[in-house]
Amino acid sequence: MLQLNNIEKWYGSHHIFSINDLNLPAGIYWLKGANGAGKSTFMKLLAGLIPFKGDVFIDEKISIQKNPVHYRLLLNHAEAEPVYPSFLTGNELIDFVSTIKKGTKEQVNEIRQILGIDDYLQNPTGSYSSGMLKKLSLLLAFIGQPKWILLDEPLTTLDQSSQKGLCELIMQQQQQKNISFIITSHHDIENNDIRFDKTFILKDKELVTVSQPI
Amino acid sequence: MNSTANILQRSIIAPYYRRNSGFFLFIFFLLFGLYPNFKQTLELHYVFINGISTSVDFFLIALLIWILYSFKTIQFVNGCAKSKTYNFLQHLNALAPRKRFFQLLLLQLQLMAPVLGYGLAVVIIAVINHHIAGGLAVVFTLVSLCAFTTAAAYFLLQKTKWEGLNIVMPSLHLPGNLFSFLLKFIFNEQFAVLLVLKLITFSCLYFFAKTDAQVFEDRMLWLLYLTSLVGHSILIYRNQQFMETKMSFYRNLPVKPVATLLSLLGVYVVVLIPEIWALKGVALEQHAVANYIWMILTGPSLLLLLHCMLYTEDMKMEGFLQLLFGVWIVMLFFSLSSNRWLLPLICLSMATFIFFTSYYRYEKNTAVEGLE
């Protein structure tokens, strides 16, 4: 369960959105919204990348404000436009995140295979294309034992076979490990074999439900 | 000023001086701010300037510094040429080669202005003192550096894949953590700044620490040391920016804040190894062991404090410099008192307090500026 309490996000005097109370049971959620509606801000906020007013709880007791370390162990995030230090290799980043998120080599290898990530991980990320960076960020987001994974525009810049692999991975992780997902995307993901429990839209600075559970 | 020169001025020259303002302020203070009066400052520089045109050793030291500075300007242009936001500079390639070279020469002359200014003073003094050979050597050096850097800029803006200017450090197999990533960032991407900074601070501190304490009282040494520490502001600022841009994913990792803080402290201990080594004369020659201990403890603590202060709000370099000046003044007065042993403790306590209260509240303002 992901519980959002009295969330408010402002950039200076610019109000981005407010969410009074929202409880998200385990599942897969699709967050929609026009460009600039605040989808990425919402994801960054949940991931603990940016400050905000209010609180978010995982399983009712692990608060982002009061238990920031434990919260981050249970929630992973892949950015829409990932950026990494250009001199670090993909493998270095994977080792780093695996150590902190308590991931295993077997887990990394499995995700690599599904996402179709080949040998480029031994090269510095400065030499990667945007698609390769995207795959790396997705791989990093699946490392560890998270209860929630936030994927911001995960299909953008991915080739078709990787898109298919990602959809399979999401469904597999949800069914086998009960990991929940919040996904933002402009792509029509419903055609890509992901069964969403609910779809939200960020509109007029509020989060609105646009469809009920299937 | 024509439109090309105007664009180069606004997109390369102004950002170069803005980004390096901390570095220039530090060098300026070191060259002109450490001496009791203006007359003594002039006399000292006269000795330097005269030395460059008459002594091979002095000339070689100046040559090394000028070459390093030239590489720094080329590194900056190289960074611009590689950056996507500078793609518009490709339009320069539409200019006739001679005109393009001339525009880039004007650009380099402005980037090299600090070196050219000092070099011009050397040439004038050399001519007045009839050291024509020395003066000609300086003129030849400066003209060569300008020609070389202009040619490099010309080449780089063609977006040819020339990696020759990227100083690749031998890869150290350190465990992957924030500590090693920051060190790699410093040694890979800030090497020129680090080298120039360390050359200056090491030689100054080594000289002062070796000198009999009766010649220079320890207040002078503390003044120089604190100035050297504050001179690291450019490194600290870039480290923090690096963490919040290229390593923004780090904020989603379950890392205890104390671990992050200790990693930063570890980085600044490593960065200050040359200064710690240079100051050993305080303990060995001047037999002021306690003073030496307070100095080596103060160094990393102060750098950590400066880094943590950057989390209080999203500062531009100019704002950080104002803050630095205030910290430097306070530290300077404190170092003059008999309670200077409290300096590392105060710095560490303040750094810890600021970090724990500000780190999770920090947010880069770039998005805000666009909205308001």
Chain B residues with CB inside 8 Å of A62's CB? none
- Percent of chain A whose predicted confidence (pLDDT) is above 90: 67
Surface of B (159-178) touching A: CB under 8 A:
176-177
Q: Which of B184, B360, B368 sits opposite A87 (nearest CB)?
A: B184
Task: Decide if B257 contacts B330 (C-beta within 8 A).
Answer: no
Which residues 6+ apart lie within 8 Å of B321 measured at CB? B21, B22, B25, B233
Nearest CA in chain A to B188: A87
Identify the pLDDT of residue B174: 67
Identify the pLDDT of residue B213: 65
Confidence of residue A190 (pLDDT cuts 50, 70, 90): low
Note whether B363 contacts A50, CB cutoff 8 Å: yes
B195: closest CA of chain A, how far (Å): 19
Q: Which of B177, B252, B365 sits opposite A47 (nearest CB)?
A: B252
Chain A residues with CB inside 8 Å of B258's CB? none
Nearest CA in chain A to B367: A11
Chain A residues with CB inside 8 Å of B256's CB? 69
A25-34, A75-84, B38-47, B327-336 — which is least confidently predicted? B38-47
Query: B43 at the A interface (CB within 8 A)?
Result: no
Query: A56 at the B interface (CB within 8 A)?
Result: no
The burial of B264, by beta-carbon neighbours within 10 Å (0-12 exposed, 13-18 middle, 19 or more buried), is given as buried
Identify the pLDDT of residue A134: 95
Note whether A49 contacts B252, CB cutoff 8 Å: yes
What ipTM did this prediction achieve?
0.93
For A46, A110, B81, B163, the CA distances from B74, given in Å and listed in that order, are 42, 44, 10, 12
Chain B residues with CB inside 8 Å of A88's CB? 181, 184
Tokens for A3? 């519980």
Handedness of CA B22, B26, B32, B35 (dihedral sign): positive
Query: B248 at the A interface (CB within 8 A)?
Result: yes
Nearest CA in chain A to B241: A85
Q: How many beta-carbon pairs below 8 A join chains A and B?
A: 80
**Please, what are the averages of pLDDT over each run of 10 residues along chain B (372 residues)?**
80 86 77 73 83 85 87 85 77 82 89 91 89 89 91 79 50 77 90 84 83 71 88 91 94 95 96 92 81 91 96 87 88 85 93 96 66 36
Q: For chain A, where are the alpha helices, taking DSSP H only?
A: 39-47, 68-74, 90-101, 105-115, 130-142, 160-177
Nearest CA in chain B to A46: B252
Identify the pLDDT of residue B337: 85
Q: How far apart are alpha carbons B145 and B129 in whole angstroms?
A: 25
Task: Decide if A200 contacts A31 (C-beta within 8 A).
Answer: yes
Q: Which of B184, B249, B367 sits opposite A11 (nearest CB)?
A: B367
Q: Which of B189, B257, B371 sits opposite A11 (nearest CB)?
A: B371
pTM of the model: 0.80
Note whether A79 contacts B249, CB cutoff 8 Å: yes
Q: Which of A72, A87, A137 sits opposite B253 (nearest CB)?
A: A72
What does the DSSP assignment read for B306-342?
HHHHTTSS---HHHHHHHHHHHHHHHHHHHHSTTGGG
* pLDDT tens, residue by residue, B104-153: 899 899 999 999 998 898 899 888 888 888 889 999 999 999 999 999 88
A114: closest CA of chain B, how far (Å): 23
Q: Which of B185, B245, B254 sits opposite A72 (nearest CB)?
A: B254
Residue B246 phi/psi, 5-degree rounding, is -75, -25
Overall average pLDDT of the A43-57 stretch: 95
Identify the pLDDT of residue B370: 38
Note whether B246 contacts A68, CB cutoff 8 Å: no
Q: How far apart are alpha carbons A9 and A122 in whole angstroms?
A: 39
Identify the pLDDT of residue A98: 94
